[in-house]
């Protein structure tokens, strides 16, 4: 018997789902009074029960906080991870959400309108897990705006949560992940997301430990903390691709990002208008308490650092004991430090490789005391086809570079020699 088949093809961000549905099954559902069964319409469950999005299973559609927490509670299978679909609108959090041993992708089903946003209003709550033992997890968010998380206002979440860290996300992997292959480590990923107006003492939007963070095609702005205005990441890896970190601030260090014992990779990204006491946009360091040689890396490709401010050191970046520093085709423009290193303050003490700047420009950076563009101590640095222009040390020396106990190699660099002070 031949049955007239129709192929339903639904395109979602990052997902293609094909479902064969016969006309006979369609008539059967209609006869049974089930026209309201959600197939490709974005509808949740008014009863609060988790419902399948398509006949035969598939992503789970949620429209309320109750449905969201129920779907996440069931996302315990790492392969394949759960697919949780959001309808445009805002979901307000009532309490913390436990992400211990959870594996999912949460994404927004947009209808094509300019106002089709999926928003998590954290309402002073956070995504969390147990900080005493840590846990495994793999979490991905796509096309979601996450705002108004506040650490320190938690009342009903997981026991032993870090109370002051991570306004929107406060997560710890287990310490056994240090020796795991990177692809099997706990992961927190954002694609085409917005992290906005989150606040904490440490990590305004995100605090993680033993976790890798991926930020892709996303905007991270207007978050605040004492350390790590937007992100504080410890003993992990941070990977930013085509993302903007703007207008974040820290009362102490790392206006946008504080990376401790962490590999940092920035590609085609922008860090603009961030501020802190040290490291206006980024503070990257190896633990000062560590006696072993540094192993961490800081790599940046085609990334712009503009208009960042540090009231003391490192207008855009302060890096300490980082093993390998590489900047390729980057721009530092209009950054300012109240003391030293208008664009960068680098302390290479204990490093094994040193720093490389390739096809990178330093323009219009200012430091009050020394090193209008760069202040450097204790290391080996190479500049290859770079440009220094109009950098200024207003009250000290080294309009371009101020160096202490350093070795510099220069190849085809413009406007540098007249602006170096070394001793």
The yes-or-no verdict on residue 103 having pLDDT over 60 is: yes
Given this model, what pLDDT does residue 162 score?
Answer: 64
Q: What percent of the chain has pLDDT over 70?
A: 75
Q: So what's the pLDDT on residue 258? A: 96
Q: What is the pLDDT of residue 319?
A: 93
Degrees to nearest 5, angle at CA 361 with 337 and 241: 90
Better pLDDT: 146 or 408: 146
Residue 317 has pLDDT above 80, yes or no: yes
pLDDT band at 348 (very low <50, low <70, confident <90, very high): confident
d(CA 262, CA 148): 26
Residue 212 has pLDDT above 90, yes or no: yes
Binning pLDDT at 50, 70 and 90, where does residue 154 land? very low
34, 42, 260, 296 from 264: Cα distances, Å: 52, 38, 10, 8
> What digits encode the pLDDT tens for the residues 31-63?
334 344 333 457 654 333 344 333 335 799 999
Confidence of residue 158 (pLDDT cuts 50, 70, 90): very low
- Tell me the per-residue pLDDT of 267-289, one tens digit each, with 9 for 90 and over: 999 999 999 999 999 999 887 54
Joined tokens for residue 228: 């790590």
pLDDT for res 86: 96
Indicate the average pLDDT of the chain: 82
Poorest-pLDDT segment among 9-18, 122-131, 150-159, 170-179: 9-18
Q: Tokens 């290479």: give the residue.
A: 348
Q: Work out the number of other CB atoms within 10 angstroms of the CB of residue 1.
A: 3
* pLDDT one-digit tens code per residue, 55-90: 335 799 999 999 999 999 999 999 899 999 999 999
Domain segments of the chain: what residues? 63-241
Bigger pLDDT: 15 vs 158: 158
Q: How confident is the model at residue 249 (pLDDT cuts 50, 70, 90)?
A: very high
The reported pLDDT for the residue numbered 55 is: 32
Q: How confident is the model at residue 4 (pLDDT cuts 50, 70, 90)?
A: very low
pLDDT of residue 114: 64
Tally Cβ neighbours within 10 Å of residue 96.
Answer: 23
pLDDT band at 242 (very low <50, low <70, confident <90, very high): very high
The reported pLDDT for the residue numbered 8 is 33
Give the pLDDT confidence score for residue 202 in this predicted structure: 92
324-328 and 127-128: which strand pairing? unpaired
* pTM summary value: 0.84
pLDDT at 22 over 70: no
Say what the pLDDT of residue 67 is.
Answer: 97
Q: Which of 11-20, 357-366, 367-376, 409-418 has the lowest mean pLDDT?
A: 11-20
How large is the average pLDDT for residues 384-402? 91
The pLDDT of residue 44: 52
Which of 396 and 290 is assigned the larger pLDDT? 396
């Amino acid at each position: 018997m031949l049955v007239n088949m129709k192929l339903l093809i639904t395109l979602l961000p990052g997902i293609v789902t094909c479902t064969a549905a016969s006309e006979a099954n369609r008539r059967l559902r209609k006869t049974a009074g089930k026209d309201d069964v959600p197939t490709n319409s974005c509808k949740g469950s008014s009863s609060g029960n988790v419902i399948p999005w398509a006949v035969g299973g598939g992503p789970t559609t949620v429209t309320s906080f109750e449905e969201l927490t129920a779907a996440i509670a069931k996302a315990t299978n790492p392969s394949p991870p759960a697919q949780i679909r959001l309808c445009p609108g805002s979901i307000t959090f009532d309490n913390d959400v436990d992400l211990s041993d959870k594996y999912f992708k949460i994404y927004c089903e947009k209808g094509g309108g300019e106002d089709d946003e999926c928003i998590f209003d954290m309402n002073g709550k956070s995504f969390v897990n147990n900080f005493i033992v840590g846990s495994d997890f793999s979490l991905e968010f796509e096309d979601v705006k996450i705002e108004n998380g506040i650490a320190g206002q938690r009342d009903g979440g997981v026991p032993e949560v870090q109370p002051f860290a991570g306004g929107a996300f406060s997560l710890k992997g287990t310490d056994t992940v240090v020796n795991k292959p990177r692809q099997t480590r706990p992961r927190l990923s954002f694609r085409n997301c917005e992290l906005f107006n989150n606040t904490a003492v440490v990590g305004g939007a995100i605090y993680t430990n033993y976790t890798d963070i991926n930020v892709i095609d996303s905007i991270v702005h207007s978050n605040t903390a004492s350390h790590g205005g937007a992100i504080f990441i410890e003993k992990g890896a941070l990977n930013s691709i085509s993302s903007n970190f703007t207008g974040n601030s820290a009362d102490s260090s790392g206006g946008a990002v504080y990376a401790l014992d962490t590999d940092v990779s920035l590609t085609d990204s922008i860090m603009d208008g961030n501020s802190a006491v040290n490291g206006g946009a980024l503070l990257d360091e190896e633990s000062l308490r560590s006696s072993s040689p540094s192993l961490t890396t800081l790599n940046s490709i085609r990334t712009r650092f503009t208009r960042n401010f540090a009231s003391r050191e490192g207008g855009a970046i302060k890096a300490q004991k980082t093993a390998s520093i590489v900047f390729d085709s980057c721009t530092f423009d209009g950054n300012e430090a109240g003391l030293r290193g208008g664009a960068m303050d680098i302390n290479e003490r204990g490093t094994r490789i040193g720093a490389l700047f390739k096809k990178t420009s330093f323009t219009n950076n200012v430091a009050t005391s020394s090193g209008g563009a760069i202040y450097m101590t204790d290391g080996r640095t190479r500049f290859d086809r770079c440009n220094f222009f109009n950098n200024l040390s207003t009250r000290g020396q080294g309009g371009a570079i101020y160096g202490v106990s350093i070795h510099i190699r220069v190849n085809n660099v413009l406007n540098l020699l007249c602006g170096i002070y070394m001793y």
